């Protein structure tokens, strides 16, 4: 009897395990402080009222997040899959004082000590060729070969700026480090680095729901020996130019002063190999079935991308299934973007399946729209030959 039960369980698992081809694409530009209304109001002449309101709406530290990812994979009914994923990730962190200096210039900020740090810029472009394997019905692992295309890091650790009273002097104190990949070949899929990555996912059914935990992109890229490592530590004070004979004055004094600044800002650049840690990703979800006419499932999730999210991104989604259709509406906080709504729609046919989604569903209100995002996924179920014959 036990043997018969085991055979039935295995047969059931095989019957519900399907091979499929899947492709997905998403693109987004999100931020924490600047909404669509700011952009609409900022066209044309910028009044002082607009500048004041714009600066007041900023946080002390502000963030932009850029994401473009595409990939495809084949999953076999036996539990393994192979595929590729191309990722472009970018993040920018900047202080309010930097925007204030850009909008007003130093003329209206006389006597103020401005802190133009921290400023952080990170951009990376890489492709993964991966293999996934299910260890059992709860655990799966992945390994990937990673090809590095481009990357750039900028970290401004100190950026002090001051214009003295009456404008008698201008002073700055700057300290920064930067690393960037080879710029002699700027083709988008240049081969500038090689590395590896690991990942794992655990999922389990619980009473009236399920939970899952995942970590991905745990690895490094070794960029080639044409990678630049730049370091600048510069202090400068400009106290004007002394003019003894105004009739014979020429611009050489100004040129010499500008040359002095340019030379000081060149810093020290070293060409060498560079080991870059991939931005690993953490994800956890808890789904609970609901007995409700409006929604039949609730999902609570948290996501984190190391070095690109200043804090974890928390989300709560309600799902409604209507035969082969699913509609999802949620709300998120944290991450590198302003809090807002998100939306997804999925169709699950017997052979063809599609999903469209957005992490920024606040387009209906410009004052709450802090970016754009769109994603689409397509899956084609591959039926066994015998099943295809039976369908005919």
**Cα dihedral 259/265/267/272 (nearest 10):** -110
Low-confidence residues of the chain, pLDDT below 50?
A: 1-16, 240-243, 245
Residues, the chain: 392
Element (H, E) at 375: strand 371-382
Q: Cβ distance 193 to 223 under 8 Å?
A: yes
Question: Which pLDDT belongs to residue 7?
Answer: 39
pLDDT of residue 286: 97
Question: What per-residue confidence (pLDDT) applies to 341?
Answer: 96
Please state the domain extents for the chain: 21-240+248-391
Q: Which two tokens stand for residue 371?
A: 């970016």
Global pTM reads 0.84
| 114, 163 Cβ separation under 8 angstroms | no
Residue 124 backbone phi and psi in degrees, to 5: -145, 140
d(Cα 200, Cα 141) in Å, to the nearest integer? 4
User: Residue 101's pLDDT is what?
Assistant: 80
Instruction: Quote the CA–CA distance of 146 and 232 in Å, as a whole number.
Output: 31
CATH class, domain 21-240+248-391, is mainly beta
Q: Tell me the C-alpha to C-alpha distance, in Å, between residue 290 and each of 186, 208, 248, 296, 323.
A: 52, 8, 86, 5, 16
352-358 and 340-348 strand pairing: antiparallel
């Amino acid at each position: 009897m036990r043997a018969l039960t085991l055979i039935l369980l295995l047969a059931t698992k095989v019957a519900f395990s399907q091979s499929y081809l899947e492709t997905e694409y998403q693109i987004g530009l999100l931020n924490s402080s600047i909404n669509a209304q700011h952009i609409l109001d900022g066209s044309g002449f910028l009044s002082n009222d607009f500048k004041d309101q714009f600066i007041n709406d900023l946080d002390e530290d502000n963030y932009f997040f850029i994401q473009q990812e595409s990939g495809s994979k084949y999953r076999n009914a036996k539990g393994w899959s192979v595929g590729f994923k191309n990722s472009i990730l970018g993040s920018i962190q900047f202080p309010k004082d930097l925007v204030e200096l850009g909008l007003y210039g130093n003329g209206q900020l006389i006597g103020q000590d401005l802190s133009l740090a921290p400023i952080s810029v990170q951009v990376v472009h890489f492709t993964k060729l991966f293999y996934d394997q299910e260890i059992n019905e709860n655990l799966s692992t992945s390994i990937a070969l990673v090809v590095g295309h481009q990357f750039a890091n900028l970290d401004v650790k100190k950026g002090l700026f001051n214009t003295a009273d009456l404008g008698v002097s201008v002073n700055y104190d700057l300290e920064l480090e930067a690393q960037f990949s080879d710029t002699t070949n700027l083709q988008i899929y240049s081969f500038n680095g090689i590395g590896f990555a690991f990942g794992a996912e655990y999922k389990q059914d619980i009473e009236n729901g399920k939970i899952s935990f995942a970590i991905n992109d745990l690895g490094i890229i070794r960029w080639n020996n044409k990678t630049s490592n730049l370091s600048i530590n510069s202090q400068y004070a400009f106290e004007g130019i002394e003019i003894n004979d105004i009739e014979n004055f020429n611009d050489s004094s100004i040129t010499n002063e500008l040359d002095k600044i340019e030379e000081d800002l060149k810093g020290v650049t070293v060409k060498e190999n560079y080991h870059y840690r991939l931005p690993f990703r953490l994800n956890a979800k808890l789904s609970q079935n609901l007995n409700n006419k409006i929604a039949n499932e609730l999902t609570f999730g948290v996501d984190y991308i190391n070095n690109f999210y200043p804090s974890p991104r928390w989300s709560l989604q309600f799902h409604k299934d209507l035969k082969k259709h699913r509609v999802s509406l949620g709300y998120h906080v944290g991450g590198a973007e302003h809090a807002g709504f998100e939306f997804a729609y999925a169709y699950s046919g017997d052979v063809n399946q599609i999903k469209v989604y957005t992490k920024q569903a606040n387009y209906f209100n410009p004052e709450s729209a802090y970016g754009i995002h769109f994603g689409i996924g397509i899956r084609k179920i591959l039926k066994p030959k015998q099943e295809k014959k039976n369908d005919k």
